[in-house]
Structures are given as structure tokens and as C-alpha cells.
Amino acid sequence: MLIYELAFSCKPLTFWSLCQTLVDIHVDNGQCVIVCGDIHGQFYDLCNIFDKKGFPSQDKQYLFNSDFVDRGSFSVETIFTLFALKCACPLWIHLARGNHESRSLNKKEVLAKLNETVMDMFSDTFCCLPLAHALNRKIIVLHGGLFSRDGVTLSDIKSIQRFCQPPKRGLMRDLLWSDPQDSPGRSESTRGEGIIFFGEDVTVIFERQQSRSFVNSSLCSQHLTTATGRITNESSSFSKLHKWSQIFRRSQLCDTRTGCGSNGLLQTE
């Protein structure tokens, strides 16, 4: 059996198609969740994470917060490994969709290494991945950030029709693309049409609106583009003052540009 046939034989597409768009993750006392940011086809970074932190287990869950593919040279190997781990221990490893989990950004490598059939499998599975996770109803984990309007609820997130390629506008677009900024309010992003930056005040309003569902909530994301268009490993200043954390996992960008690489840990006591 070919490796991609083995990876898809456990039908991860069927599993994720039954998941909600916002998935709740429960962590018991003494257990932890390791939240990892962008891998971007850096397969050896992925191996290094497991070498340093250990493999998923009942006491140590993993949440890979999207952008597993594109830019690096080993996107196929990276996603096969994550899919296989999800099939082997579905309760201990969680995968979210990012803006790079799209057909157009990954087609070249997949066709060079495999074929159109596998590309269709990847594309269909990416469309089924959840867009957000909630850890113990205290921490909301998103790939991008908050929304172009106030008043968005957790029910609205759960109701997003995610079974499609990333759209040009709407809540799904915001979840996958938006970034925090130091100044208040919202502004147009340098990333493209329909993408926003949002300030601390937007975060405060969102948290207050979720207070009935979440107690002392915090937010976590991994996009790191500033208002000047610069990719950085430094969190915006308001994230240091308020309840926003950013995680940027990969040690290199496009196999050449050095980055810090990081992961987050939630542990209950």
C-alpha cells in the first residue's frame, strides 16, 4: 500500500466533517495541551517538537494551530505525519485550518511528488478542518484573529460554513487572516482586500461579549504581520498588556530565513 493510501485509509475527512467549526478541548488536572504554531512544511521542525516534548498521550495533548503546509520543502511529509498521528490517537492531537490550507497554495509540491488524486484528497480534507479551538472554556485559539465587526459570538463561529476554499470576505476570512495592532479600532491590512488589523479595544469588547460562555478568557493566535507589513517574532505591545498571546513555531521561513520558533503550554493543576 502506498503511504498516502495508508494515511487516508482511516478516513480523517469523515472524522473532521463531523466536528464543529469551534472544537472544545478538555484538559483534566495534571494534564496539558501543547499549542504549536506554523510548521509551514518544515518537517524537521515537526520532528524536533516531538523529540523535545514527546509524542501525544492522554496526559499530553497537542494542538497544531494550522499552516502545516506551503513555503517549506516538505509539506507533503508534514501533513502525512500529522494525519497519521490523528488517526492513531484522535483524542490527543488536534489540527486547525489556516489560510495556507488551500488548494492553490500547495498544488505544485503535491503534483511534483504524487498526483492529482492526492491533491483532491488534501483539498477535501483541508475544507473539513475546524477553524478554532477552546481550551477548558478559558482560552480561545485562532489562526488569525478577531473580526471586522463587533457582536460576533461563539455560536456565530460554530455556524460558519467552512466546507469551502478560504473566502474573500466574512467571518471565516477574518479568522484566518486578521492580525492585532497597537492602535485602537480596526484598520485595513497590508495583506490584501478584506483583511483587517484590530486593536486592544476590539479584543476587550469580544471578551466581554463571551463572558457568559467563558470565565477569564484569553485568546491565542499565530499571525505575526505588523501594520508595516513586517513579519516579526515579537508580540504587539497590547498583547503584553492584555489577554492575547501569539505563537510562531517554525525555526526558518522558506527554508532560509531564521525565526525564533515557539510553542505554548496549557497545564491544569
- Pairing, β 196-198 against β 186-188: antiparallel
> What residue ranges in the chain does DSSP mark as E strands?
22-25, 32-36, 60-64, 93-95, 132-135, 139-142, 179-180, 186-188, 196-198, 218-221, 244-246, 252-253, 257-258, 263-267
- Pairing, β 93-95 against β 263-267: unpaired
Per the residue annotation, which of 94, 100, 133, 242 is the catalytic one? 100
Residue 71: other Cβ atoms inside 10 A: 20
At residue 116, the 3 state secondary structure works out as helix
Say if residue 28 is exposed, middle or buried (CB neighbours under 10 Å; 0-12, 13-18, 19+).
Answer: exposed
Residue 133 catalytic? no
Amino acid at position 94, single letter: H
Amino acid at position 213, single letter: S
Residue 7: other Cβ atoms inside 10 A: 21
Residue 232: other Cβ atoms inside 10 A: 14
Alpha-carbon span 210 to 251, nearest angstrom: 34
Q: Residues near 52 by Cβ (< 8 Å), separated by ≥ 6?
A: none
At residue 174, the 3 state secondary structure works out as helix
Alpha-carbon span 2 to 179, nearest angstrom: 40
Q: Catalytic positions, please?
A: 100
